[in-house]
Amino acid sequence: MIYELNETHDPALKCRVESAHNPETEFPIQNLPLGIFTKGNKTPHIGIAIGDRILDLFECGKRGLLDGLPLPLLDACAAEQLNRLMALDPELWSRLRMHVSRLLQTGEKAKSLAGQIDDSLIPMRSCTMLMPARIGDYTDFYASIHHARNVGSMFRPDSPLFPNYRYVPIGYHGRASSIVVSGTSICRPCGQLEHPGFAPDFGPCRMLDYELEIGALIGHGNPLGKPIRMTNAESHLFGICLVNDWSARDIQKWEYQPLGPFLAKSFATTISPWVVSMEALAPYRCPAPVRDPDDPAPLPYLFSSENAQTGGIDLDLQVSIYTERMREDLQHPAGVSCSNLTNLYWTFAQLVTHHASNGCNLMPGDLMASGTVSGVDKSSRGCLLELAWRGTDPVLLPNGEERRFLEDGDEVIFSAHARRKGFASIGLGECRGIVAPAVHQSNFTHS
């Protein structure tokens, strides 16, 4: 199912939160993303971002502002994570979105509840964002053909893509325990490093990289042994967030054969705290990527006419780097690349369908990441491995610094925005992480 446009997408909606009308806001009333926040040391609550405020759904429920919604929905809104809400039927997600949209509008009903609504709105600056859900499993895909072709050409110039790439969505099972929320420092990992002609060294990664990705969080799942059909795949998608799947390129080069990424990827993955619903993205849907004339058509289980027509999402993606020197000199972060989610070869519906095609049971809160989203042009490459071409063509930053790979103190910042004429622009918030020095090697010696 692809959500249809309704009153919640109306660009003329007026919101009682004045900052939601700021042209620069990522969170107008047409967005309404969900996340988990805490104020001080209080119990975490589910919140909805609106302008520079957070609508506390627990407080809304306590004040009767959610009256009329079904009991399972009320119970889910009082939880400390989004998993219970994710497990519900998509129709209930839509009911909550519609209810909150009307609550935040400047109509007569909202005026009569003004005091109670205002008491449920909290300034974002006074809150701490937490992980939006309990992520039980994490799958990282390789769904951008431009990224796959670039990386393949570095190692296999004559045959950058394996024959299976155009037939099967490539992915691997990642480490869910090391997924962290935006703002968490990332410790430079240590591992075995190739030393040609000698035994490998063990030490800090020298080729630390970021990967610009979008993650889809699973809503209600499927029973073990029961595949998900393409025609129903979208109903299993709760929403999307930004993902930085940090990568230790030198560790990966030595260890990845024959089974694939291990320590080079499992040390950290950062996600943005706000989950933008698939319904909020309805105005920005577009056709699935058009394949080259010589490319094979997707196998029948990976095809539906609805996905072909509206399976894509027109979402601009940006990467900035904020070095230690930039912070000291009070400069702004430097943008280094811009991409778009239409650069994926496979849609999220196809990723969900393929993931469950063997009977694998997906669960509420599972994270499925797109893999690095790169475009055709150099300016749209989604990682330093591509931008600096394995370190041979360093990226020149505006203040004169160069980067082949990330240095200690570098902060990587992702953002994303959906825009379409005739509709409000919405954003995903930020996905940030700063690189901290590696743990001293003396910690690995015996006591």
Model confidence at 442, in pLDDT bands (50, 70, 90)?
low
Task: Output the DSSP codes for 30-70.
Answer: TT--EEEEESTTSPPEEEEEETTEEEEHHHHHHTTTTTTS-
The answer to whether residues 208 and 250 touch, using CB atoms and an 8 Å cutoff, is no
pLDDT at 259: 85
Mean pLDDT in residue range 281-297: 95
Helices (H), 135-259: 145-155, 249-255
Model confidence at 286, in pLDDT bands (50, 70, 90)?
very high
Mean pLDDT in residue range 41-55: 96
Give the separation between CA 156 and CA 344, rounded to whole angstroms. Answer: 21
Mean pLDDT in residue range 133-148: 97
Mean pLDDT in residue range 197-215: 96
Phi, psi values for residue 240, rounded to 5° = -125, 160
354 tagged catalytic: no
Mean pLDDT in residue range 315-329: 98
Model confidence at 261, in pLDDT bands (50, 70, 90)?
confident
pLDDT at 2: 84
pLDDT at 107: 75
Residues near 157 by beta carbon (within 8 Å), at least 6 away in sequence: none
**Is there a cis peptide before residue 258, judged by omega within 30 degrees of 0?**
yes
CA 227, 276, 346: angle at the middle one, nearest 5? 45
Residues near 198 by beta carbon (within 8 Å), at least 6 away in sequence: none
DSSP one-letter code for 273: S
Residues near 218 by beta carbon (within 8 Å), at least 6 away in sequence: 86, 236, 237, 238, 352, 362, 363, 364, 365, 366, 367, 368
155, amino acid identity? F
pLDDT in tens, 404-413: 999 999 999 9
Give the separation between CA 133 and CA 218, rounded to whole angstroms. Answer: 10
Residue 346: Cβ-neighbour burial (10 angstroms; 0-12, 13-18, 19+): buried
Give the separation between CA 169 and CA 353, rounded to whole angstroms. Answer: 10
CA 79, 81, 87: angle at the middle one, nearest 5? 85
Give the separation between CA 371 and CA 310, rounded to whole angstroms. Answer: 21
Distances (CA, A) of 289 to 60, 139, 157, 343: 41, 22, 25, 7
Helix (H) or strand (E) holding 435: strand 426-436
Among the listed residues 9, 45, 146, 147, the single catalytic one is: 147
The answer to whether residues 22 and 94 touch, using CB atoms and an 8 Å cutoff, is no
CA 134 to chain centre: 15
Give the separation between CA 284 and CA 314, rounded to whole angstroms. Answer: 5
pLDDT at 301: 98
Q: Which two tokens stand for residue 5?
A: 């446009």
How does 140-158 read in b/e, with b if 16+ C-beta sit within 10 Å? Answer: bbbbbbbbbebbbeeeeee
Whole-model pTM: value is: 0.96
Q: Over the chain, what is the mean pLDDT?
A: 95
Residues near 349 by beta carbon (within 8 Å), at least 6 away in sequence: 230, 233, 234, 237, 304, 307, 311
Model confidence at 447, in pLDDT bands (50, 70, 90)?
very low
Model confidence at 85, in pLDDT bands (50, 70, 90)?
very high
Give the separation between CA 392 and CA 112, rounded to whole angstroms. Answer: 64
pLDDT at 177: 97
pLDDT at 109: 66
Mean pLDDT in residue range 128-151: 97
pLDDT at 441: 63
Q: In this structure, how many other beta carbons lie within 10 angstroms of the beta carbon of residue 251?
A: 28
